[in-house]
């Protein structure tokens, strides 16, 4: 049982701005520990989404699937050949169930029935955050009621998994830090070179960790160089604007009267600047302040 993992899809309805939308939820259950992992949910479980899920659950050291395990799954068409190929490459042996045999995937079917009867059928979900919160809280409560430990990681392990490693392996760079055409188009919308680099890095970090940490630190030099080369930068553009922030604050504080207002002092320029913290976002506040004071038409 310690080497058996089962997976399956189930659906639920979520209200969005576009109306009622059916979301497909993919879960994995470790049969030995009964640990449940909701790998993700989407209204469009296409091949690209399944490939990303396979990369996340098989990534070295912290993926849910480990080599020499067995993955039980049905013949759902959403488990596309590309998904199966990535699972096979991770040395995880797949066990494909016969057609129309949900009884052979009893653990997944029973958990789906429980979460639908006890949670999803009793709630009206508005947006993805409500669905994510409902599923995560149900998993925690179900573990508490069964007497199983809720925290699978120690504090040291949790801290280690929630930050970037000091060195990212070359294979992970090719998988998670390789920019697609859509990534390049979104990145080019940023005006300054350092903002384009920062935006691209945050996209890659989101794929690598599956979230962006609150205390985001700069990735390794190899990762920054790898992304910068894809953006065709002659050199790694260090976001040096944050080093000039103290000078700008001193200058704003030395201005007479209302020129040293809070809109100027609140400009924060982190080392990895987000699009809202870039030149466009910073310049909009002084212009708005000037229009309010009748100092120009903007």
> Domain residue spans in the chain?
4-146, 156-230, 240-292
CA distances to 45, 74, 236 from 130, in Å: 19, 28, 40
In this structure, of 5-14, 30-39, 174-183, 268-277, the range with the lowest mean pLDDT score is: 268-277
Mean pLDDT of the chain: 77
Mean pLDDT value across residues 52-77:
89
Q: Which bin fits 250, alpha (ψ -120 to 50), beta or left (φ > 0)? A: alpha
Position of tokens 């212009």?
287
Q: Using CA of residue 170, residue 173, residue 174, residue 176, what is the dihedral sign? A: positive
pLDDT classification of 286: cutoffs 50, 70, 90: very low
β-sheet with 19-30: strand ranges across: 35-42, 19-30, 4-16, 70-73, 93-96
Checking if the pLDDT of 293 tops 70, the result is no
pLDDT classification of 270: cutoffs 50, 70, 90: very low
CB atoms within 10 A of CB 93: 12
Mean pLDDT value across residues 224-228:
89
Which residues in 69-179 belong to E strands, given as ranges? Answer: 70-73, 93-96
**Apex 231 CA angle, 229 and 236, nearest 5:** 55
Domain 4-146 CATH superfamily: Ribonuclease H-like superfamily/Ribonuclease H (3.30.420.10)
**How far apart, in whole angstroms, are the C-alpha atoms of residue 43 and residue 24?**
6
């Amino acid at each position: 049982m310690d080497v058996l993992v089962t997976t399956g899809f189930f659906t639920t309805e979520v209200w969005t701005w576009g109306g009622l939308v059916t979301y497909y939820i993919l879960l994995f259950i470790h049969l030995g520990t009964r640990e449940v992992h909701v790998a993700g949910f989407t209204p469009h479980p296409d091949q690209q989404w399944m490939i990303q899920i396979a990369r996340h659950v098989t990534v070295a050291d912290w993926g849910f699937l480990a080599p020499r395990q067995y993955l039980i799954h049905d013949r759902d068409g959403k488990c596309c050949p590309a998904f199966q190929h990535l699972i096979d490459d991770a040395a995880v042996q797949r066990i494909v169930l016969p057609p129309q045999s949900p009884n052979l995937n009893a653990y997944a079917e029973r958990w789906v029935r429980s979460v639908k009867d006890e949670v999803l059928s009793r709630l009206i979900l508005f947006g993805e955050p409500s669905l994510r919160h409902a599923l995560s809280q149900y998993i925690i409560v179900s573990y508490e009621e069964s007497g199983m430990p809720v925290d699978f990681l120690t504090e040291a392990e949790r801290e280690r998994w929630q930050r970037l490693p000091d060195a990212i392996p070359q294979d992970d760079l090719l998988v998670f830090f390789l920019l697609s055409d859509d990534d390049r188009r979104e990145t080019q919308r940023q005006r300054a070179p350092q903002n384009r680099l920062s935006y691209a890095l945050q996209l890659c970090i989101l794929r690598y960790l599956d979230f962006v940490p609150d205390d985001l630190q700069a990735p390794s030099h190899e990762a920054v160089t790898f992304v910068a080369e894809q953006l065709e930068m002659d050199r790694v553009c260090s976001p040096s604007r944050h080093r000039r922030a103290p000078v700008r604050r001193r200058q704003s504080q030395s201005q007479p009267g209302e020129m040293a207002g809070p809109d100027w002092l609140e400009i924060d320029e982190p080392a990895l600047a987000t699009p809202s913290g870039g030149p466009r976002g910073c310049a909009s506040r002084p212009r708005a302040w000037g229009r309010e004071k009748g100092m120009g038409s903007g």
